[in-house]
Structure 1
Amino acid sequence: MTVEHRWLLDETPWPEQATLVYGEMVELATPHPPIPKLGWLGPDIVGNRGVIVACVIEQDERDGHVGPLYAVETEDGSPWRLRSEFLVSRGGLHPDMPPRYRSDLPEGTRVRIRLESDTLGATTEAVGEIAGIWWTTSLEPPKGYIVQVGEYSHCVTPQQTEVI
């Protein structure tokens, strides 16, 4: 069965411990006063602006702290995972932020994928498992799926994917 292109709204509650929200505009910073166990951001990183695109509660192995870890996409498209100590709110939400999406296929779903081969006009098929959603930017809907085939990950469109 070929997969239709559909992305479901992610209605997972935002973590209660989070002090920043989805779509909030932030600036990357080094904590002041410094927290030696956490390290610092370099001078070429401090001051970059971005938007909060996800939040999970995790234990930081550097100091054992359990709390929010934010996924941030900066203006240049770079992805970051940072604690709130490294983020300064810019005081507003991104005006073009899309809703949060999740895959219509749960992680672990077995699929057959069709990939372009090195031979002109030929395709290669492989079997793997859905490992997540493929995004090029969090400010647009997902492009497709991340499929794990052995030790390799492939980014494929729904049209290249068949549930088995």
Structure 2
Amino acid sequence: IPLLSFPFKNIAMARFSWCLSMIHGAGVDAQRTVSMALRSSLNPIFTRHIKPVEQRIIDGESFHAALDKTEEFSREFISVLEAGELSGTISETLDHQAKTFRRIAKTQFTMLTKVMGGLVFLIVGTLFVFMIWNLFQMYLSPINDALGGV
């Protein structure tokens, strides 16, 4: 469901960015860093790419190049990651990205909650009107039958 997927993908991106930031900052080797970060996203769309991305890292590709080839990450994220790699500030850049993704997901979940609340209100209201109409018809039916016989 398209509207539901956006906040969940942003949560996964926040987890991935934060973990990649922390693990890279701890000095773990690149292959294990990307593998652990992808696993930490808990998103099957990302975790299915662990082996190919690990292999690209082993082959000497940068993080942004290896992740870009999966075609699962936004162009903006790849650009930010590339800038972080080129400037030597991957951990700081990804920590900032994680906070941004969390803020976006929170906004999306808030909006989704409001829309779903309105939808529930509309459904309950429609059901309520339908029940009142049926009760009114049940009340009028005997009266109409009695008047029709006169």
TM-score when normalising by structure 2: 0.23
RCO comparison, higher one (Cα < 8 Å, 6+): 2
Q: Which has the larger radius of gyration?
A: 2
Higher helix share: 2
Higher strand share: 1
TM-score when normalising by structure 1: 0.22
